[in-house]
């Protein structure tokens, strides 16, 4: 029983909106809540509000650079192979 693409898209949209709302409350509102308040138990330490996105950004940047590097090397290798084939012919 395949799931309709609209249902999948709506699910992803709602999930993203919830994650954004949670992060926004975590970053913008928890600094103004008193220590020991029950609301703070729903959130990790504020340190992670900066550390997690920073680590994710660094990993994403590294993966992007790695992909570009592999693509450039593969392109150069294919050019060299074509040049060698032309010399042999």
pLDDT tens digit sequence for 40-86: 888 998 899 899 999 999 999 999 999 999 999 999 999 988 888 88
- pTM above the 0.95 mark? no
CB 23 within 8 A of CB 46: no
pLDDT at res. 22: 93
Q: What digits encode the pLDDT tens for the residues 29-50?
A: 888 989 888 888 889 988 998 9
Residue 83 is predicted with a pLDDT of 87
Measured distance CA(37)–CA(8) in Å, rounded: 37
* Helix (H/G/I), strand (E/B), else coil: 60: helix
């Amino acid at each position: 029983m395949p799931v309709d693409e609209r249902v999948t898209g709506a699910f992803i949209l709602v999930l993203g909106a919830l994650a954004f709302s949670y992060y926004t409350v975590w970053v913008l509102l928890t600094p103004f809540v008193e220590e020991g308040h029950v609301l703070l138990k729903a959130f990790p330490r504020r340190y992670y509000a900066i550390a997690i996105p920073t680590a994710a950004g660094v990993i994403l940047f590294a993966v992007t650079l790695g992909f570009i590097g592999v693509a450039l090397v593969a392109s150069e290798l294919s050019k060299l192979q074509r040049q060698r084939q032309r010399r042999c012919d």
